């Protein structure tokens, strides 16, 4: 069987890198989108993964820019082939209470975290349907499930992502294409390192597991959902949160 191609947006970030590592270890060819090759030192990132035996490459793309995503998809097809596995990881936070949030904070979070998933997924979904195989995973958040102070923008985007997942699952199921959500709790990356220490300590005190999770915890869930054998798991949300929030 030919090697399946996995595209991971934001694959160079804390959670994304581990997703690339685990999908690569599962035999996928890995492509990440990268916003700023120099700032992200993306060549070094790719060569580090290659040194671990991961078949990794990158393309430049701002996922919030639909035109850029059209061009990125053309580049991916011409350089690497068809995308079989897509993981929408790219995301940002711009926290503020709504009464203090300016429009740019709202729109940047919606445009990257939610519209970005549309911009990228819509480039590849027709091909997955035609070939009768596809795996899409959207990285949401526990704060999309519960709402969080200071995150009306982020909670809306992340809740919206799971609506996108569920509708896409129904559309894709007859064609062998699955769409699932992974909702991390608090994970040790630069995103949570930016939380003020006192607030971080208060958050950890709420987590029954007693600590934040790791990128490996999230990548394990993504590897599970993107396996060739996972075809009947479709439209699900898989929370990975140390029992911080349990629901049925
Ligand atoms: P991170 O900041 O390390 O990674 C985010 C990635 O997104 C980076 O590679 C960045 O370059 C990329 N990105 C940002 N804007 C982009 C754009 N316009 N176009 C393309 N790429 C862009 O953060 P992380 O903690 O690894 O988070 C990864 C995902 O997991 C995010 O969607 C985040 O919301 C979600 N998440 C994280 C946590 C956590 O505790 N860290 C919890 C829940 C959900």
Q: What residue ranges define each of the domains in the chain, with the CATH number in brackets?
A: 5-234 (3.40.50.720)
Using most ligand atoms within 8 A of CB, pick from 60, 191, 195 the residue to mutate for ligand 1.
Answer: 191
The rounded Å distance from CA 130 to ligand 1 centre is 30
* Options 107, 118, 154, 186, the catalytic residue: 154
Confidence bin at 108 (pLDDT 50/70/90):
very high
Task: Answer yes or no: pTM beyond 0.85.
Answer: yes
The Å distance, Cα 27 to ligand 1 centre, comes to 24
Q: Dump pLDDT digits (tens) for 154-179.
A: 999 999 999 999 999 999 999 999 99
CA of 174 from ligand 1 middle (Å) equals 31
User: Distances in Å between the alpha carbon of 181 and those of 75, 88, 139, 142, 224?
Assistant: 26, 10, 6, 11, 12
Distance CA 240, CA 183 (A): 6
Contact 31, 7 (CB under 8 A): yes
Tell me if 242 CB under 6 Å of ligand 1.
no
Res. 118: pLDDT tops 80: yes
- With 90 as the cut, is the pLDDT of residue 37 above it? yes
Work out the average pLDDT over 138-158: 98
**Atom 10 of ligand 1 has which residue's CA nearest to it?**
10
Q: How far apart are CA 31 and CA 60, in angstroms?
A: 10
Q: Is 154 noted as a catalytic residue in this protein? A: yes
Count CA atoms closer than 13 A to 104's CA, side-chain side: 0
């Amino acid at each position: 069987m030919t090697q399946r191609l996995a595209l991971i947006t934001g694959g160079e970030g804390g959670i994304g890198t581990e997703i690339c590592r685990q999908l690569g270890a599962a035999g996928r060819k890995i492509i990440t989108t990268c916003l700023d090759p120099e700032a992200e030192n993306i060549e070094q990132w790719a060569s580090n993964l290659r040194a671990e035996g991961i078949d990794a490459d990158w393309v430049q793309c701002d996922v919030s820019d639909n035109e850029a995503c059209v061009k990125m998809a053309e580049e991916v097809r011409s350089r690497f082939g068809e995308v079989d596995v897509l993981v929408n990881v790219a995301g940002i936070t711009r926290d503020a209470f709504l009464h203090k949030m300016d429009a740019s904070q709202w729109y940047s979070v919606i445009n990257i975290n939610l519209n970005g998933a549309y911009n990228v997924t819509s480039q590849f979904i027709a091909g997955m349907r035609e070939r009768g195989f596809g795996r899409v995973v959207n990285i949401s958040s526990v704060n999309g499930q519960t709402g969080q102070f200071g995150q009306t923008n982020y909670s809306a985007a992340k809740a919206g992502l799971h609506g996108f997942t569920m509708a896409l699952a129904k559309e894709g199921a007859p064609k062998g294409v699955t769409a699932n959500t992974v909702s991390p709790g608090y994970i040790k990356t630069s995103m949570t390192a930016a939380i003020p220490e006192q607030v971080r300590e208060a958050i950890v005190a709420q987590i029954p597991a007693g600590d934040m999770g790791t990128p490996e915890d999230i990548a394990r869930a993504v590897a599970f959902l993107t396996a060739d054998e996972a075809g009947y798991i479709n439209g699900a949300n898989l929370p990975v949160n140390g029992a911080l929030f349990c629901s049925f």
